[in-house]
Amino acid sequence: MEIRTIGVVGAGQMGNGIAHVMAVAGYDVMLNDVSEEALQKAIATVEKNLERQVSREKISAEDRDAALGRIRTTLELSELGQTDLVIEAATEREEVKTKIFETLVPHLKPETILTTNTSSISITRLASRTDRPERFMGFHFMNPVPVMTLVELIRGIATDQETYDACLGVVESLGKTAASAEDFPAFIVNRILMPMINEAAYTLLEGVGNVRSIDEAMRRGANHPMGPLELADFIGLDTCLSIMNVLHDGLGDTKYRPCPLLSKYVEAGWLGRKTQRGFYDYRGDTPVPTR
């Protein structure tokens, strides 16, 4: 099928980024959230990021204006029912995602493809709670969406080839690259990345290095653009912990046991940049290690 209209559920960091790249690529976008404030903030973020692209000559001012004109917002989830492709980008909690799909399904066109931006949750299990497991798959963008060029496409056990091909076509139309992954906990990127972040937290807990030395070691010793603890703060420590729990529970291997220090930070509400404190304290002019 030809995909022209995109529904995006969730106007947070991932959702507004997905709306941004879809609109720039020429798709009409319906962005949904439960909060009007979140929708307004999302549009402001998209405007700011588009303006940055104009200033860097990535797109023209005309492209910016056209993209903004293609994004509409709604508080009513049912209004996404007439879109060709829905991308769910709500919080990384299975019960929330399941409720969204159960609410949305009665309003969908028969041919609409349902996808989720989940970074770790079983695609097969989420698909089983819908009326179209063959037209359901994982559509996992990397953060920040306008900058990162990879999208993981994850098939559930029932996903058909037509659905995969349609989603692959969308990824290619965005100028991004697809990595095809099987439906196992955390897929490819986070299956490899999160244990590294978790091990960095263990390295900190055991006193092998402090926050600054661990990050500096990986930036300069492994040529990573960000150290693992800085990256964890950027992603959100609650998200990192959630993915480690999915890996630990889903694979049953003790090597995926979440670091107790990571759990402690989350218990304290120190979730990284979004709460101004995590492995670093962001409340001043310069980030300061908290350990």
Average pLDDT over residues 123-134: 97
CATH of domain 5-182: 3.40.50.720
Q: Is 245 a catalytic residue?
A: no
Q: Is 41 annotated among the ligand-binding residues?
A: no
Mean pLDDT for the stretch of residues 146-172: 97
Pairing of strands 113-116, 85-88: parallel
Asked if 49 is an active-site residue, the reply is no
What percentage of the chain exceeds 90 in pLDDT? 97
97 annotated binding-site participant = yes
Residue 24, CB-side half-sphere exposure with 13 Å CA sphere: 25
Catalytic residue among 119, 122, 198, 242: 119
Query: For position 118, what pLDDT does the model report?
Result: 94
Q: What is the pLDDT of residue 284?
A: 96
199 CA to centre of own chain = 22
Q: State the first-to-last Cα distance of the chain, in angstroms, to the nearest integer.
A: 53
* 13 is known to lie in a ligand binding site: yes
Catalytic residue flag (residue 119): yes
Band (1; pLDDT cuts 50, 70, 90): confident
Q: Which CATH class is domain 189-289?
A: mainly alpha
Task: Kindly name the residue from 190, 198, 230, 242 that is annotated as catalytic.
Answer: 190
pLDDT higher than threshold 90 for residue 185: yes
pLDDT at 80 over 80: yes
DSSP string, 85-131: EEEE---S-HHHHHHHHHHHGGGS-TTPEEEE--SSS-HHHHHTTSS
Task: For residue 33, say whether it is annotated as part of any ligand binding site.
Answer: yes
Active-site hit among 152, 198, 230, 242? 152
Instruction: Tell me the DSSP string of 230-283.
Output: HHHHHH-HHHHHHHHHHHHHHH--GGGPPPHHHHHHHHHT--BGGGTBSSEE-S
| Per-residue pLDDT tens digits for 213-250 | 999 999 999 999 999 999 999 999 999 999 999 999 99
Residue 128 among the catalytic residues = no
Residue range 91-119: mean pLDDT, rounded: 95
Domain boundaries, the chain: 5-182, 189-289
Has 92 been labeled as part of a binding site? yes
Handedness of CA 172, 175, 181, 184 (dihedral sign): negative
Average pLDDT over residues 144-169: 97
**Angle in degrees, 0-180, between the axes of helices 237-251 and 189-205, rounded to the nearest 10:** 110
Residue 84 has pLDDT above 80, yes or no: yes
Tell whether 161 is in a known binding site. Answer: no
List 16, 140, 198, 242, catalytic entry: 140
Radius of gyration (C-alpha) of the chain in whole angstroms: 19
Percent of the chain having pLDDT more than 70?
100
The angle that helices 189-205 and 228-235 make with each other, rounded to 10 degrees, is 120
Distance between CA 211 and CA 142 in Å, rounded?
Answer: 25
Per the annotation, does 119 bind a ligand? yes
Beta strand segments in 127-222, E = 136-141, 150-155, 177-181
